[in-house]
Copies of this chain bind each other. A is one copy, B any other.
């Protein structure tokens, strides 16, 4: 049996999934003191077996410090306490060269209020510490959104109270990552090949995220619950909030995943991070060309053409130290043998 048959088997299996009844369940709600502020660099908070269902919770990106609309995040959040993480979790048997398949089962807003804000020096349409300009910053501003669970919306008002708008709830995790390679420890505002602060709306319930393991035990963690967000996250935050999280963690032994991938019944998706934005896109597109080749056996030029005509490529965010772009392909368009 050659490589082509193996590919077909993978296609048939899709994301691996143990029967629900068989899965060990770990329930874990971190205390505030257990929250972590880096990818890598922290000892595991729990050890779990592959196949575990994790029923958990994560604090909001403000470290839970903003509780009233008149509080400025820069005044109440301790320095370096952005995007607190639940975890890290040591996955038994995970080794560099393996892949975690993290299936997000449910994500539910854990509070009745979502909070968005503008931080001076952070955002896409203003000067930042990385796109340095002279002149005055825009003013720090906070918006509170009321969550309506029945209507699945969040609603806020303009600062002068005159106008209001509503956003459909579309919960996802801004952060999901493993410990980086090479002994690196990264801030939870950074996305990269280890996942991290991808701020990608497809890290949502129903989807499986594949992350390549870089250190023994993988040491994955998650946080930065987003109740809703537009593409680009241009003001620097989503509608942010604590989240109830259920996910299952499987281990794919001997399978490397250089950059994060996401999959569901209908789509395969690659996430690229980098600057400038075209480099983030190039990473995701190149990974998708590779993924299509793995799945179909297409030659490189054909896969390049196929992706060029079939991809969707929204900007995920362009505010973090590295930007992220998502590239996705509908599975039902993947090439088939020519005879039909």
Contact = CB atoms under 8 A, between A and B. Distances in A.
A70 interface: no
Nearest to A163: B335
Interface string A282-313: 11011101000000111111101111111111
A3 interface: no
A181 B183 CA distance: 16
B184 A234 contact: no
A2 interface: no
Contacts of A230: 307-313
A286 B133 contact: yes
Give the interface size bracket for A toward B. Answer: 35 or more
Nearest to A185: B185
Contacts of A337: 162-164
A289 B134 contact: yes
Interface stretch (A17-25, A56-64, A120-128): A120-128
A136 interface: yes
Contacts of A131: 131, 279, 282
Nearest to A117: B305
A196 interface: no
A143 B305 contact: yes
A256 to B, nearest CB: 13
Contact of A134 (B40, B125, B311, B318): B125
Interface stretch (A27-35, A87-95, A101-109, A153-161): A153-161
16 contacts: A127-B133, A130-B274, A131-B282, A133-B133, A138-B304, A162-B337, A163-B338, A164-B335, A165-B306, A165-B335, A184-B186, A231-B311, A231-B314, A235-B304, A237-B308, A275-B275
